[in-house]
Structure 1
């Protein structure tokens, strides 16, 4: 049976300081400037080749699992037949993709999460329905890798779950990308997340939805929790409305 996309799995463990009200204070209408001229879009044939390669790499005994750690939790491109909370060792969430489009502008650049080497990352593994893998893989690639020089690159993870190990497809930071940079110091990260907004929404919204979605699955990321606390305080200070 396919599980609805927005099933609420657990109540929040504690009160978040970053609220919908604070997030709404950051939002502003920003026109889409279009992709940077030096970014070359991938073509349909590129996606077909990548999809064919990944289809060959699926373990037929397990089927296709996707590892979600950020926006795929609350804005997926697929429906799923099963989910499990799991941990990928050797990787951690990092605000290492700098954006001047989508959730940022050249005047107020934003930050996006990706996976970086080191530590561990707890997320959710989704098993996709059998028979739809090729379609779902191509949609996922189009979402995560839009250009020949992309901030993400795919890889297969061995994730540990309570039900055993799962081999899952996921995405990590591409260090060769021009808008990759190591996550800034805490104060700079907080300031950027509290201010940046583009035609795709604000960075505060992205942080809010990611932390809230993780909570629904019983996952507490200490780094993101600290960031949401500090970003909430920064927005309140800059907007003068309190928390």
Structure 2
């Protein structure tokens, strides 16, 4: 399944993700609409002064699904991207769980900042919450955005991993990460494709991530491919 088309704005608005998870992983605890709304309101109430941005570090780079008016690369400090979340729906199954990215504490991360207009901010974030906050696997928080000179240019909401959540899988052996990414697949496609698309998106915007590229090469080799796709 090509999730660039399947995981669309219309699909999210129609409640498709909730249906998908309920069908593929009925044992997973899904936040109620009221619980999601409460976390969104708490996040909006904590918004710093100035323009509102979203910081994407994984699939939000190549399939954001929200409407933004400006896009630019940015770095955040104190967090790094890692395959630290287990998924049994979308990019994995109960028999072969997949892994997706989250932000773990420590280091830094370069990704894509998307600026959202104030008059549509709450609605656009509500769609994002239906996509990213369905199971409470993430903790949304505001972070400082730095340009390539290290100068702060704004604040963005982003999704850090919930280390107390049942999906958290930090500090896995590299062999376990490679095996999971190389073999897991679900309704939205394979975990490997999620990795490869993220690498493609980072390269398209000139964002280097040697660690992720190396991981993609090892996953490709495990699948019998010749490393990274051209």
TM-score normalised over the length of structure 1: 0.77
TM-aligned CA distance change 1:33 to 1:215, over 3 Å: same
2:104 aligned partner: 116
2:40 aligned partner: 51
Shift of 1:142: 1.3
Structure (1 or 2) with the greater helix fraction: 2
1:160 aligns with 2:150: no
Shift of 1:48: 3.4
User: Partners in 2 of 1:40 and 1:233 — Cα distance?
Assistant: 35
Does 1 or 2 have the higher relative contact order (CA < 8 Å, sep 6+)? 1
Alignment of 1:204-223 (within 5 A): 204-223=192-211
Question: RMSD of the TM alignment (CA)?
Answer: 2.3
1:146 aligns with 2:137: no
Contact 2:75 2:148 in 1 (8 A): no
The number of residues matched between the two structures is: 205
Unaligned runs of 5+ in 1: 1-30, 238-242
1:229 aligned partner: 217
Contact 1:32 1:198 in 2 (8 A): no
Shift of 1:32: 7.8
Shift of 1:82: 1.2
Which aligned runs of 4 or more in structure 1 are off by greater than 4 angstroms?
none
1:37 aligns with 2:27: yes
TM-score normalised over the length of structure 2: 0.81
User: Partners in 2 of 1:58 and 1:100 — Cα distance?
Assistant: 32
Contact 1:95 1:183 in 2 (8 A): no
* Larger CA Rg, structure 1 vs 2: 1
1:64 aligned partner: 52
Shift of 1:70: 0.3
Unaligned runs of 5+ in 2: 1-20
